[in-house]
Chains A and B, each alone.
Chain A
Amino acid sequence: MADNPNPDMDFAEVEAPAAKPKRKGVKRRIFLVGSALLVGGGVFGVWWTDSAAKAKAKALTVGEGEHGFLTWMKIAEDDTVTVFSPHIDFGQGSHTALGQMLADELDAAWDKVKIEQAPADLAFANVSLVKGFLPEMAGATIAGLLPDAVVGMISRSMPVQITGGSSAIRFTGEVGMRKTGAAVRAALIAEAADRLGVPASELTTADSVVTHAKSGKSLRYGELAAGAAERSLSSDPVLKTRDQWKLIGKPITRRDIPAKVDGSAVYGIDFTLPDMRVATIAAAPVRGGKLEAVDEAPALAIKGVEKVVKLDDAVIVVAKGYWPATKGLAALAPKFTDGGNGAMSTPAIYAAQDKLRKAGGEPDNQGGEGDVEAAFGAAGAKVVEAEYRVPFLHHAMMEPFALTGHYKDGTLTIWGGLQDPLSTRVRAAKAAGLDVDQVVFNPMIMGGGFGRRFPDVTEVIDQIALLAKQVPYPVKLVWSREEEVRHGTYRPQSSAGLKASLGADGKITGFRMDYAQSGNAEGEVPFIYAIPATSRRHFAYQSNQIDGPWRSVNATQIGFYTESFMDELAAAAGEDPYQFRRKHLPAGSRHLAALDMVAKRSDWGTPLPEGTGRGIAIVESFGTIVAEVVEASVKEDGSPKVLKAWAVVDCGTTVNPLNAEAQIMGGLIMGLSSAIGEQVTLDKGAVVQSNFGDYPILKLADAPPAMDVHFIESGAKTGGIGEPGLPPASPALANALSAATGKRIRNLPLLTQAKA
């Protein structure tokens, strides 16, 4: 099994700003970090030392009667512990889980712990994220050789406050939060030992109090904080063992939920300032096109409209509110060019991809082992081939983009929800022609994201920066749903040819996947089966669309291809799909344990009513293994009906089971939704779909009424939880429907097949 090798990006590339990676086609999140390393160095003009970062962090966040520790937390004299999260929480619940991890190691009383968003300042750049991603970018060996101080300096030389890659718990939590909690606890004990004149070994901690049992004396954390904050912290503190955890692994409820049931939570779209205007935008329908001409008069004739702003590739209407802005925009008839992309269409993209794969295109990336051609040609080999296709997918975050900007006295201030506050400042500064120091960004709660809110692929930052510079008042730019659907940064449209050979014993002897899409997935989605000869070749094809990271990124399509084809191979071998997978997973592996558990919980193999089928799939992504079973039938109109779903998850350690369950259920449902009805298609270079009417999201009645999510606490290296629930869902559903109908599904979405 591959350990996430990433042969096309070594550390030398990371260090050398000249060697910018292939800009278009490569969109994986580790590359987002990688390119941040490349372009970010020097952007802020400083290479901070740890002590300088700490000083800046304290200046920004630590007030009277409070004492800061590193850039991660502070303790107030009333015992309140405030944890600073460098990650945005857009519903994945990571703020609560990160707080749990720090507070557990600290032995803090949970009701006195607050979790706050770290400011969008370089002092709060996420060192642990870089540490976590470096092995994925540079290989574990090189990353392991780098001293912590160097990693810290790299992090603070670049704008890393990314939320993505299912990274909060496995990197920030494991590296930043737990170590900080443990180190501060040790400092509090040392301070108490001096104050009480007793050996540190006689002291215990619980509920934010240090106690000396022999004398019955105790000191509160708030009393010790001032002295402890002056002590040097251990860089390698002793962490608790699993049996000592009091908060990690507990189903603690989320702090942000009450404000999300009474309408009081303020999202980016809700933000308002005195004298603020509201604007909305229409960009060139064909991506790559430019604004040629627009007659502003019809918009200005609408009551409430104040101004029409022309950008290079878009027109914006500024008004007293969103409604007049919308009416004003609808009144315009802007002329856009198509940027030479007028011939781009969904069938044309598939045709170009097929040509690349089949007619001698050069793969730009490949992985695997052994000689697949020899396996295919071996005497007695049974060869199976199939072609698969999946469409562009839209993120459909429920809150459309809404950023407020105000340019005043040389400073551009922006409010809104984006996945990386520091990179947002960099992008806005570049667009507005300002220094980064002239841009302030205030991160706000986000109504979903799923990968759409990465500054790297978020042109709305440029739009608000350019707009704010042209008006004297604060302005909130709100995208319509139509703008969201038509100007997404989609999960790539992708196609694949799969070929495999079976030996006389019914086992796979060779397995090849040739896939064409924008970004390659090698190293990102581990191939989990033990097969003598494997090959995975990526053929780069870039359309006029911007392909972005979409929840679980390449694991969606790679998971669909691999796990659908495994069922085809099982059928060719005349075997049950579960038993067939078992034969190709190593004995004693975590993968096999997860597969066996999901089969057991779903009563795999027991009889089902006529017309109902079960499908199984297993995908590893972001360090977490997820096996799923879906039970489904076909409705009278030919559309699929999901009856039940099971998920078995091995993410090593489940920090907050209540929240982890929600993430897996949500990922599974999003996977089903995409498989059943979602697709973005192109005609004459422009997106055909426009809103939820023609881009259908799964609703409650079509989601599985019964879901069973089970976690295996393997104790293995902690994996991510926000994304890995999604990839097995679409192949499990397709496999279930094939089992029910006998008809193999190779193209998504299913609804187009049903109608065909």
Chain B
Amino acid sequence: MAISFTVNGKQVSVEAEDDTPLLWALRDDLGMTGTKFGCGIAACGACSVHVDGAITRSCSVPLSEVAGKSVTTIEGIKGADGTFHRVQQAWIDAQVPQCGYCQSGQIMAAVALIDQVGSPSDAQIDEAMTNICRCGTYPRIRKAILAATGQAASNLQGAA
């Protein structure tokens, strides 16, 4: 059956079984591969997107629950003129990514956190940033979130 929703402001209709997770509709049906598959059980966050503004692990949300809703992916957070979102720019400035595979999800989680609380504290960052990064980029993720919200690098010592 066809299920309709919007992705990054554009109306789309996906012909797929309604138990298909949003992740696979994005990747296999819509060809939007910026959102990554990591675990399939909502444990790692590599597939994080926003559904009606809320941070959502798309591997575990069936399409039937997305019908009529508004989805934002990593491909949709740049400015209309193509400039990087301030979180993306902070990620570049802090040289966060290593292999980069988890970073779409990390950035979507950070954007959702900042949209929600403005200038997150270290404790709020700890609580919200639960995505796994095997390369261990966490110190730079924290640094980039603080920088994106105009905060000094809190209790960080050294260059990290």
Q: Which residues of A contact B (CB under 8 A)?
A: 90-93, 253-254, 256-267, 269-270, 272, 278, 303-304, 320-324, 326, 396-400, 445-450, 478, 480-481, 644, 646, 658-659, 661-663, 665-670, 673, 691-693, 697-701, 703-710
- Residues of B near A324 (CB, < 8 A) are 17
Which interface residue of B35, B135, B140 has the most chain A CB atoms within 10 A? B135
Given A90-B99, A263-B33, A478-B37: 20 more A-B contacts, CB < 8 Å: A256-B100, A258-B92, A261-B88, A261-B97, A321-B16, A397-B99, A398-B101, A398-B132, A399-B38, A399-B101, A450-B134, A663-B98, A665-B137, A667-B136, A693-B43, A697-B132, A705-B142, A707-B139, A709-B158, A709-B159
- Residues of B near A666 (CB, < 8 A) are 98, 135-137
State the CA gap A323–B61 with chains docked (Å). 13
Check: B31 CB closer than 8 A to any chain A CB: yes
Check: B28 CB closer than 8 A to any chain A CB: yes
Which interface residue of A256, A265, A662, A697 has the most chain B CB atoms within 10 A? A662
- Residues of B near A449 (CB, < 8 A) are 99
> Contacts A258-B92, A272-B31, A692-B41 known; A91 to B100 CB distance under 8 Å?
yes
State the CA gap A701–B139 with chains docked (Å). 10
Is A257 touching B157 in the complex (CB atoms < 8 A)? no
Is B136 touching A669 in the complex (CB atoms < 8 A)? yes
State the CA gap A670–B136 with chains docked (Å). 6
Is A481 touching B40 in the complex (CB atoms < 8 A)? yes
State the CA gap A363–B3 with chains docked (Å). 64
State the CA gap A206–B102 with chains docked (Å). 39
- Residues of B near A447 (CB, < 8 A) are 36, 99-102
- Residues of B near A661 (CB, < 8 A) are 159-160
- Residues of B near A669 (CB, < 8 A) are 136, 138
Is A262 touching B125 in the complex (CB atoms < 8 A)? no
Check: B129 CB closer than 8 A to any chain A CB: yes
Chain B residue with Cβ nearest A93: B98
Is B99 touching A399 in the complex (CB atoms < 8 A)? yes
> Contacts A262-B78, A398-B102 known; A699 to B130 CB distance under 8 Å?
yes
Check: B95 CB closer than 8 A to any chain A CB: yes
Which interface residue of A92, A254, A320, A398 has the most chain B CB atoms within 10 A? A398
Is B130 touching A263 in the complex (CB atoms < 8 A)? no
Q: How near does chain A come to B133, taking the closest CB pair, in angstroms?
A: 7
State the CA gap A646–B131 with chains docked (Å). 24
Is A262 touching B75 in the complex (CB atoms < 8 A)? yes
Q: Which residues of B contact A (CB under 8 A)?
A: 16-17, 20-21, 24, 27-29, 31-41, 43-44, 46, 73-75, 78, 84, 88, 91-92, 95-104, 107, 122, 125-127, 129-142, 154-160
- Residues of B near A264 (CB, < 8 A) are 34, 75
Find B160's partner among A267, A659, A709 (CB 8 Å cutoff): A709
- Residues of B near A266 (CB, < 8 A) are 33
- Residues of A near B130 (CB, < 8 A) are 699-701
Is B99 touching A481 in the complex (CB atoms < 8 A)? no
Q: How near does chain A come to B137, taking the closest CB pair, in angstroms?
A: 7
Q: How near does chain B come to A626, taking the closest CB pair, in angstroms?
A: 15
State the CA gap A263–B125 with chains docked (Å). 22
Q: How near does chain B come to A345, taking the closest CB pair, in angstroms?
A: 26
Is B126 touching A446 in the complex (CB atoms < 8 A)? no
State the CA gap A270–B134 with chains docked (Å). 19
Which interface residue of A264, A321, A698, A705 has the most chain B CB atoms within 10 A? A705
State the CA gap A144–B154 with chains docked (Å). 51
Interface CB pairs A-B, < 8 A, 20: A261-B88, A262-B74, A262-B75, A262-B88, A263-B104, A267-B33, A270-B33, A398-B135, A399-B36, A447-B101, A448-B135, A646-B158, A662-B140, A665-B136, A666-B135, A673-B136, A691-B41, A700-B138, A701-B129, A708-B158
State the CA gap A661–B156 with chains docked (Å). 14
- Residues of A near B125 (CB, < 8 A) are 700
Chain B residue with Cβ nearest A646: B158
Is A253 touching B43 in the complex (CB atoms < 8 A)? no
> Contacts A91-B97, A481-B38 known; A323 to B21 CB distance under 8 Å?
yes
- Residues of B near A267 (CB, < 8 A) are 33, 36, 101
Is A263 touching B73 in the complex (CB atoms < 8 A)? yes
State the CA gap A320–B17 with chains docked (Å). 12
Is B39 touching A481 in the complex (CB atoms < 8 A)? yes
- Residues of A near B131 (CB, < 8 A) are 699-700
- Residues of A near B155 (CB, < 8 A) are 705-706
Q: How near does chain B come to A328, taking the closest CB pair, in angstroms?
A: 12
State the CA gap A205–B98 with chains docked (Å). 34
State the CA gap A446–B41 with chains docked (Å). 22
Find B157's partner among A259, A265, A706 (CB 8 Å cutoff): A706
Interface pairs A-B: 4 shortest CB-CB: A263-B34, A447-B101, A260-B100, A91-B99
State the CA gap A700–B92 with chains docked (Å). 19
Which interface residue of B78, B127, B159 has the most chain A CB atoms within 10 A? B159
- Residues of A near B127 (CB, < 8 A) are 701
State the CA gap A478–B59 with chains docked (Å). 15
- Residues of B near A663 (CB, < 8 A) are 98
Chain B residue with Cβ nearest A692: B43
> Contacts A257-B92, A396-B134, A707-B160 known; A263 to B28 CB distance under 8 Å?
no
State the CA gap A91–B37 with chains docked (Å). 18
Q: How near does chain A come to B141, taking the closest CB pair, in angstroms?
A: 6
Q: How near does chain A come to B146, taking the closest CB pair, in angstroms?
A: 11
Q: How near does chain B come to A86, taking the closest CB pair, in angstroms?
A: 19
State the CA gap A701–B28 with chains docked (Å). 33
Chain B residue with Cβ nearest A671: B136
Is A263 touching B74 in the complex (CB atoms < 8 A)? yes
- Residues of A near B16 (CB, < 8 A) are 321, 323
Find B91's partner among A261, A667, A697 (CB 8 Å cutoff): A261
Q: How near does chain B come to A568, taking the closest CB pair, in angstroms?
A: 28
Is A700 touching B126 in the complex (CB atoms < 8 A)? yes
Is B97 touching A303 in the complex (CB atoms < 8 A)? no
- Residues of B near A278 (CB, < 8 A) are 28
Q: How near does chain A come to B130, taking the closest CB pair, in angstroms?
A: 6
- Residues of A near B100 (CB, < 8 A) are 91, 256-257, 259-261, 265, 445, 447
Is A92 touching B142 in the complex (CB atoms < 8 A)? no
Q: How near does chain A come to B84, taking the closest CB pair, in angstroms?
A: 7
> Contacts A397-B134, A703-B138 known; A708 to B33 CB distance under 8 Å?
no
Is B99 touching A705 in the complex (CB atoms < 8 A)? no
Is A706 touching B156 in the complex (CB atoms < 8 A)? yes
Is A692 touching B39 in the complex (CB atoms < 8 A)? yes
Q: How near does chain A come to B82, taking the closest CB pair, in angstroms?
A: 10
State the CA gap A30–B139 with chains docked (Å). 32
